[in-house]
Chain A
Amino acid sequence: MSDTSALEYRRQHPLALLVGMGHRLLGVTLIAGPMVLLNPAVRDVPEVLVPSVAGMLVLLVLLPAGLTWATQWFAIGHDALVVRSGVLFRRTRTIPYGRIQGINTAQSPMQRVLGLGSLRVDTGQQGVEAEAELPMLRWSDVLALQEELVRRRRPVVGGGGEAVPADGGASVVRPAPSGTVLATVSDRELLIAGATSAQLLVALGAIAGLVDRAGGWARMPVLGPLLRLLEARAGSGTAPDGGVIAAVFAAAIAGLAVLWVVGVVLTWARYRGFTLRHVGDTFVRTYGWLNRVSAVTPLQRIQALSWREPVLRRLVRYGELRAVSAGAMTVQVNGNQADVPTLVPILPLDRAAAAIAHVYPGLRVDWASATPRPDWQRPSRRTWARTGVAWSVRAVLTLVPVSFLFGSVTWYALWGLPLVWACTPLASHVRGVARDADTLIVREGGLGRETWVIPMAKVQLVHLRQGPWQRAIGTASVRITTAGIGSIADVVDLPEASARALVQEISGWLATNAKRG
C-alpha cells in the first residue's frame, strides 16, 4: 500500500461547516425551543438565560460541527482512496480502486443552491463499513472526482476478494468509447410505475377487508361500542349504525386514495428524467427532480440481471430491469441514505430486451414468449399437486392472523382454494430454466414473474434440494446464487434427472472455465 503520509489530503468544502451547523441548530431548536417557550418561568428571567443559551449553542452546535468538519479528510492515493473521519475514534479507510463497486453522486436542492454535492463510494462489503462518503464537496469537484475514480478503477492483479475468473465478464459487452443511451423513462411511464406499485395491492386488500367486515363491526367486542359511541356523539339518532360506518369507510378509502396519489407523485419526483447510459466499461444512471443523482456501476461488477414483472405491472405490460452487484447501491442525500434504483425502474418489454441484448450481446432469448428458448425446461407436471398443497398451506397460514383482525368470516376465503388449485398449472407454465452458451436464464413466479440472466462465470454456489415428497414423485429443486445482493435464482421442481443434469452442466462449465488465473 502507498505511503499515506505522502498523500495530499483534502477537506470538505468550508460551506459544509455552515450546513452542518445549520442541521444541528435546527435539531436543537426543534427540541429545546418548545421546552423553553412553554415554560412560564422563562419569561420572567430572560437575562439569566442568555449565557446558558449561548453555551448550549457552542456545545451542541458549533463545537460538534467544527470538529466533524476538521477531522474529515480524504486523499486520492496511487492505488487507493484514503478517507479519514471520526472525532474521538479516528478512522482511516483505504479503499483500493479495484474493489470499488459503484461511485454514486447526489445533489439536493439545498446543495444545488450552494453549488455543493455529495459522493459515495461503494465497496461491496456488507455492514457499517460498506461505503465511504464525502458528503459536502464543491459540485464541480464531485464530478471531477467521480471521473477520476472511474478512470483509476481497474481490476486488482493477483485475485482475492470477489474471485473474478480469468475471463470474468467474457459475456459482457466490450467498452464503448463514448456514452450510449440504453434507456430513458418518460414522465408517463413514471406515473404508471407509481400507480402500479405493490402498495396498491395491499391497499386494495385492506379496502376489501373493510368492506368484508361492514356488517360485523357493530357487533365486535371493542369496535362495536366504540362505533355506537361515535354515532351518539355525532348526534344522528335517526340512522341505524350504518351511517357512521359508511363515513369511516369513506374516510379510509379517501385516505388510501390520497396516499396512492402521493406515492405516484413521489415516484415521479424521485426518478424524473431517468437515463441509463453505457460509458466506457460502466453503466451510468442519472435521474431525479429534487435530488439529482448520478450512479456509476462498473459493468464487470454486475453479477446478474433480472427482469421483474410484478402482477400489476405485468397487466399493463411493463416491468423493472435490475442489475445486481455485490455493492449495496445507495447514495447519500442530505444526510439520509437512499437506495439507488437497481437499473431501470420501469420499462416496456421491448426496450428492456434491447437493454439486456446490449449487456449480453450474444444472448438469444425470445422475451415475449412463454417459452423464451427452444431448450426451455419447465417443472414436471407431477408437481401440480405439490404446488397446490404448498399454496393452500400458505393461504391458510396467511388467513390465521387475518382472521384475528377481521373475524372468522375470513375463513370463507377458503372456498377460493379450488380456484388456487386451478391456477397451479400456471406456475409450472411460468417457471423454467434454459442455458444459452455461457449464460443461464431462470424464470420464477406465478402470477407475477421474475427472469434471471446469470452468466456462468458469476455463479458462486449451486444447491440441489430434494424433500421427501419430491423424492416420491421424482423431482428436485436447484438453487443458483451469485455474489450479487439478492441474486438467488430458484429452479423449482424440475424432473430429478434434469435437475441433476443442470447441476452437472454448471459444475462442468465451472471446472473447465473458472480456474483462477
Chain B
Amino acid sequence: MMRDATANVEAAHQGAIETTRADAEAWTTLHPAIVRTWQTSWLLLGVGLSLPLLAIGLFLMLDPPRWWYPVASAPAVLGAIAAATLARRRFGAWRFRREDALLAVRHGVMIRKETVMPYSRIQHVDVTQGPVARRFGLATLVVHTASADGHAVRIPGLRVLDAQALRDDLATRAGLFDPL
C-alpha cells in the first residue's frame, strides 16, 4: 500500500524533473522520499538518545527521581513532534534551480535562506549518502567553493542517479572536465 503511494509520487516527481530539464528557469523540488528520510532520522536520533537514559534509570539508578522518565523520554517525543510537523514544511521550503551561469538554492522554514553560487566558483562536487538516506535510495549533493565562510551548498534528497547526473552537469558547467 505504502509502496504504491511512493511509486505514484515518484512518477509525478519524474515528470517534474523532465519539465525542469526542458525549462532551465523552473525551480526543482527535492524528491518527496526526503520527508520520510528526515522523519526516520529524527525519530532514530530521538529514540537513540532516550533509550540509554531510560535504561540508566531502570537498571543503574536505585531510586530515580520522579522527573527522570519524562526528561529521559523528551528527545524521543521531540523527535516525533519534529517528524510530524517539521519534515513536510521543510520539504515544501526546499528548492533549487540551475540558471545559465549559476546555481540558486532556497530553503528554511523559520529562517529562509537563499544562496546564489556561480558555476565558475565551483571547486569540487561530492555525492554523499547516509545510512537512512541509502535505505530510501536518496543521496546528498555537496558543492564546494573557496568561499571564506567555508560554506558548501548541500542539496539533500536527490535520487542517486539524479544526484550523479546533477554532479556531472555542475562539474561540466564549472569546466572541471576541461582538458588541461
Contacts and interface: CB of A to CB of B under 8 A. Distances in A.
Contacts of A510: 101-102, 116, 118, 120
Nearest to A303: B148
A459 B111 CA distance: 23
Contact of B146 (A326, A463, A506, A514): A326
B63 interface: no
B145 interface: yes
A488 interface: yes
Contacts of B121: 163, 459-461, 514
Contacts of A514: 101, 118, 120-121
Interface of chain B, helix or strand or loop or mixed?
A: loop
A471 B108 CA distance: 12
Interface stretch (A20-28, A114-122, A230-238, A478-486): A478-486
A460 B101 contact: no
Contacts of B117: 460-461
B112 A463 contact: no
B178 A506 contact: no
B114 A463 contact: yes
A485 B146 CA distance: 10
Nearest to B123: A163
B4 interface: no
Interface residues of B, number: 31
Interface string A478-514: 0101111111100000000000000100110011101
A507 B146 contact: no
B148 A464 contact: no
A510 B122 CA distance: 13
B151 interface: yes
> Which of A460, A483, A484 neighbours the largest number of chain B CB atoms within 10 Å of its CB?
A460
B43 interface: no
Nearest to A465: B113
A467 B110 contact: yes
Contact of A165 (B100, B102, B120, B180): B120
A303 B148 CA distance: 10
A159 B180 CA distance: 8
A515 interface: yes
A105 B85 CA distance: 59
B25 interface: no
A158 interface: yes
B149 A158 contact: no
A487 B149 CA distance: 8
Contact of A461 (B116, B119, B180): B116
Interface of A is mostly: mixed
A91 interface: no
A462 interface: yes
Contact of A158 (B123, B153, B178): B178
A148 interface: no
Contacts of B151: 461, 463, 481
B116 A507 contact: yes
A511 B102 contact: yes
A517 B147 CA distance: 20
A159 B121 CA distance: 11
B174 interface: yes
A483 B146 contact: yes
Interface string A151-169: 0000000111011010000
Contact of B120 (A471, A485, A516): A516
A515 B100 CA distance: 10
A468 interface: yes
Interface in A429-462: 459-462
Nearest to A486: B148
Given A466-B113, A511-B100, 12 more contacts: A160-B176, A162-B146, A163-B123, A460-B148, A461-B116, A463-B113, A464-B115, A466-B111, A483-B147, A511-B102, A514-B120, A515-B120
Interface of B: 99-102, 104, 110-123, 145-149, 151, 153, 174-176, 178, 180
12 contacts: A163-B123, A303-B148, A326-B146, A460-B117, A461-B117, A465-B113, A465-B114, A483-B145, A485-B148, A486-B148, A507-B118, A510-B120
Interface of A: 158-160, 162-163, 165, 303, 324, 326, 459-468, 471, 479, 481-488, 503, 506-507, 510-512, 514-516
